[in-house]
Amino acid sequence: MKNDILINLKEVHNRIENACRLSGRNPDEVSLLLATKTVSAEKICIAIEAGETLIGENKMQELRDKDSDLKDLGVERHFIGHLQTNKIKDVLKYVTCIQSLDRLSLAEELDRQLQNQGRTLDVFVQVNTSYEESKFGLPPEEVLAFIKKIKEYKTLNIKGLMTIGLLDVDKEKMQPSLRLLKTIRDEIYNAKIEGLETLKLSMGMSQDLELAIAEGSNMVRIGTSIFGNRFLGKEIWNENIAE
Ligand SMILES: *Cc1c(COP(=O)(O)O)cnc(C)c1O
């Protein structure tokens, strides 16, 4: 098991470097987030020992269950799943960033609780770039107005945009949603909003890592290619569903 994870990790880093080389980008511009839903703390620790520093979880329950094993390892934890308002309090105990900010009510409640705690939080705005009904995220047309609104919440540091692109065996079908995220960022840049001069793009998963990097990704979120398939009776890659 240990060897598999180490070999897979190396392979993923190679894929990132190759994709950067092909698109003339510096690999330092692209960070790797380990998407660790359903992955045991033991397996996550193997990757951390190998030098990984960033993990993303989709569920509060898993953050809590793995916390005692991970909390002292200096690893940065992000929340990347759909977040219900009643789970905010617990999630905030474990993470420094929420990548799935997708509605005003969530921003409001986050701000309220963060103010109470006297702290700030990094956030990514999640965009539904594939317009699939099964996916969370703001419709692309609403992102600029949304960003302008949540900029008023001083407890939220807007770090960038996140998307789960359309996944398909066909490259041609996957590319548009990834490209759209960058277009939305350009739109925000063009609006010249103070404090939003640099925004990261969190996009690219096991299946579309190379394409995402070619389209400008700054953070790829990889699970399957490192830890293997997640089976819970069936493969559930998109358990980006409500808890
Ligand atoms: C599961 C998940 C990933 C990683 O997907 P893989 O296909 O396993 O690499 C990335 N982002 C989010 C939001 C996820 O839920």
| pLDDT averaged per 10 residues, the chain (length 243) | 95 98 97 97 98 98 98 97 97 98 98 98 98 95 98 97 93 94 98 96 97 98 96 51 42
Q: How far apart, in whole angstroms, are the C-alpha atoms of residue 24 and residue 190?
A: 24
Q: Which alpha helices (H) appear in 50-162, and where do they start and end?
A: 60-70, 88-91, 104-117, 143-150
Given the CA of residue 206, which atom of ligand 1 is nearest to it? Answer: 9
Long-range Cβ contact pairs of 224-228 (< 8 A, separation 24 or more) = 225/8, 225/11, 225/12, 225/15, 226/5, 226/8, 226/9, 226/12, 226/34, 226/47, 227/5, 227/8, 227/34, 227/36, 227/39, 227/43, 228/4, 228/8
Per-residue pLDDT, 50: 97
Given the CA of residue 230, which atom of ligand 1 is nearest to it? Answer: 8
Task: Name the residue with the closest Cα to ligand 1, atom 6.
Answer: 223
CB 214 within 8 A of CB 208: no
Indicate whether residue 224 lines ligand 1 (CB < 6 A).
yes
Q: How far apart, in whole angstroms, are the C-alpha atoms of residue 47 and residue 170?
A: 30
Task: Name the residue with the closest Cα to ligand 1, atom 10.
Answer: 221
pTM of the entire predicted model = 0.94
Per-residue pLDDT, 232: 55
Per-residue pLDDT, 1: 84
Burial of 147 (0-12, 13-18, 19+ CB in 10 A): buried
Indicate whether residue 207 lines ligand 1 (CB < 6 A).
yes
**Beta bridge pairs of residue 219:** 31, 202
- Please name the residue that has the structure tokens 């939080």: 121
Q: Residue 119 C-alpha to ligand 1 middle, in angstroms?
A: 28
Q: Residue 40 C-alpha to ligand 1 middle, in angstroms?
A: 16
What angle, 0 to 180 degrees and rounded to 10, lies between the N-to-C axes of helices 143-150 and 104-117?
A: 20
Q: How far apart, in whole angstroms, are the C-alpha atoms of residue 91 and residue 9?
A: 27
Indicate whether residue 219 lines ligand 1 (CB < 6 A).
no
CB 55 within 8 A of CB 36: yes
Per-residue pLDDT, 235: 46
Q: Residue 115 C-alpha to ligand 1 middle, in angstroms?
A: 31
Per-residue pLDDT, 169: 87
Q: Residue 207 C-alpha to ligand 1 middle, in angstroms?
A: 9
Domains of the chain: 2-227 (3.20.20.10)
Q: Residue 106 C-alpha to ligand 1 middle, in angstroms?
A: 22
What angle, 0 to 180 degrees and rounded to 10, lies between the N-to-C axes of helices 60-70 and 41-49?
A: 50
In the chain, the amino acid numbered 141 is E
